[in-house]
Structure 1
Amino acid sequence: MSQLPDYLPEAVLRFNDLALDALPGPGDASLESAHRYCSHLARRHYENFIVVSPFLPTELRRHFYHVYAYCRWSDDLADETGDTGLSLELLDWWDGELQACYENEFRHPVFIALRETIDRFDIPIAPFRDLLTAFRQDQVVTRYRTYADVLEYCRYSANPVGRLVLYLCGYRDRERQLLSDATCTALQLANFWQDVRVDLEKGRIYLPLEDLGRYHYTEEDLEAGVVDDRFRGLMSYQVNRTRRLFDEGLGLCGMVDARVGLDIELFNRCGSALLDQIERRRFDVLSRRPTLSSARKAGLFLKYALKRLWIR
């Protein structure tokens, strides 16, 4: 991008993943230009987002793009600077832009588009702001003493995404929100257990320190990559309680539009399959990062897609 729009801080020029070259030109504040940018950004990162599902209702895709673009910008502002102070400064700027959006003042294309979605589905500011709380926390908190502390982090980092999906699908009740929270928290935890080594290299440990103590395993052991009976017991403990959350969250699938329910079930089953993979490797997540193969993902998709079609 040759010239930065005047609504952007100069620091965002370093972010390669935000498709800055696709931003609408100066003076173009139209909704459709803003939507095209959000769509471009979401498709650029399609592998990470529900919008690629052929089962997602077509009329909702536009709004999923808008929400995704907000999440993408939030994530990159937090993680791509390499400078805690700058990340916090940019997150404060983004939070201010969010507040302005709710006050009908916006220039950034993400918020021009997001305002349409907020109005259409009457979405409160809380889930958007909660995500920023998690991103800020990641800048300053690198250890969690208890499992309850980790769950509290998930309340802000993961659960708002599921609640935004529910708002887009027209569901606002507490029962569905709690079931969504179970799946979203489980997905976040599964990602933590998958990325123990990756997070450690960033200076972060999401394994509860009280659980390390319970299994007489130390941070020094973790740094050294020790995989023994203590570590396997520690990881088995995390995997088992994460699996219970996935099981709880499955109850939501039959309580929403069948097309959305399939997407939720696929996310849930893929998360459970990742736990299976960790278990098959005897809980060694330190020597090599566990992943699901494309074939395994495709198999899960076919299995549960056919199941849903058969039920219908």
Structure 2
Amino acid sequence: MPVDHYENFPVASLLVPSRLRRPIEVIYHFARSADDIADEGDATPDERLTGLAAYQAELDRIAAGSTPQTPLFAELAEVVRQHALPIQLLRDLLDAFAQDVVKKRYADYPELLDYCRRSANPVGRLVLHLFGRTEPEHLEQSDCICTALQLINFWQDVAVDWQKDRVYIPQTDFPHFKISEADIAAGRCSDNWAALMDFEMDRALALMRRGAPLVHALPGRLGWEIRLTIQGGLRILERLRQVRGDVFERRPKLGKWDWLVLAGRSLTM
């Protein structure tokens, strides 16, 4: 399921076969620690980029067959070797994290999708590689799910991201709904804001629906893991619509009763 920190990574739960839990945990640790470098604490942008460059250098060592310099990357090298994981997917994640350090706005939807291609989609592709399910159709469906989850997280966290001077809503969308960044700054939840959020949520919903058939092509327990992940994203969208996109005062999050709802809905996918 999505987690608090690196939101779109399916953590190695009991639904995942035991032989793959450790590989998933190692990749998750890589992604989360790199995300921390880019986003946590009070480091300067240059310090963050230097830290991410050190991670890239470790990936270079793995690609060259050399010995990594840290325990994390030593474990990651073994996972990459055992499962023939494409290192470019790991590089893409680091590239997205570095972009977050320096880029705070997105001109249009295609530009945002390109960011999601590197920040979210590699996660699903890495999981499919671990399971040996890399058919083009399945990779595309996974991309749709992961991008949808990333977008849902963006819409859920508009107010949170504003505090970091980040706006993921495409700049070209604001004038269509007579909205500006001043509305975000003021926490102004108007009818126009609700219409903008509906528009953005519809985009995420369309992608999720395109990707959802993937659950029927995956092995039993992985299929259930993805079912729950999809339902979690859809539940957040549902909650967002219930509050008419008011992420300023009523940011939605999942509670313990929601998990029962997710489990029930997963049975009917």
Whether TM-score is above 0.5 comes out as yes
CA deviation profile, 1:131-172 (whole Å, cap 9, x unmatched): 011001101110111011111110010000000001101122
Matched, 1:85 2:62: no
CA distance in 1 between counterparts of 2:45 and 2:258 reads: 38
1:229 aligned to which of 170, 179, 191: 191
Runs of 4+ in 1 over 4 A off after TM superposition: 45-49
**What are the within-5 Å matches in structure 2 for residues 191-206 of structure 1?**
191-206=153-168
Judging changes above 3 Å, is the alpha-carbon distance between structure 1 residues 52 and 301 closer, same or farther for their aligned structure 2 residues? farther
Structure 1 counterpart of 2:112: 150
Q: Secondary structure at the match of 2:144?
A: helix
Give the conservation status (yes or no) of the 8 Å contact 2:38–2:97.
yes
Matched, 1:117 2:75: no
The count of aligned residue pairs is 263
Question: Which deviates further from its counterpart, 194-203 or 58-67?
Answer: 58-67
Question: Which consecutive residues of structure 1, in runs of 5 or more, have no partner in the other structure?
Answer: 1-44
Write the letter of the residue equivalent to 1:53.
S
**What are the within-5 Å matches in structure 2 for residues 13-32 of structure 1?**
none
CA distance in 1 between counterparts of 2:186 and 2:61 reads: 47
Judging changes above 3 Å, is the alpha-carbon distance between structure 1 residues 46 and 175 closer, same or farther for their aligned structure 2 residues? closer
Give the conservation status (yes or no) of the 8 Å contact 2:105–2:166.
yes
Question: Which consecutive residues of structure 2, in runs of 5 or more, have no partner in the other structure?
Answer: none
Q: CA RMSD in A?
A: 1.8
Structure 1 counterpart of 2:140: 178
Structure 2 counterpart of 1:160: 122
Matched, 1:57 2:46: no
2:64 aligned to which of 78, 85, 103: 103
Matched, 1:94 2:94: no
Structure 2 counterpart of 1:76: 36
* TM-score, normalised relative to structure 1: 0.80
Give the conservation status (yes or no) of the 8 Å contact 2:6–2:35.
no
Q: Secondary structure at the match of 2:133?
A: coil
Q: Which has the larger radius of gyration?
A: 1
1:301, distance to aligned residue in structure 2 (A): 2.5
CA distance in 2 between counterparts of 1:210 and 1:48 reads: 26
Q: Secondary structure at the match of 1:50?
A: coil
CA deviation profile, 1:182-217 (whole Å, cap 9, x unmatched): 000000000000000000011000011111111111
Structure 2 counterpart of 1:67: 27
- Identity fraction in percent: 40
Give the conservation status (yes or no) of the 8 Å contact 2:12–2:24.
no
* TM-score, normalised relative to structure 2: 0.93
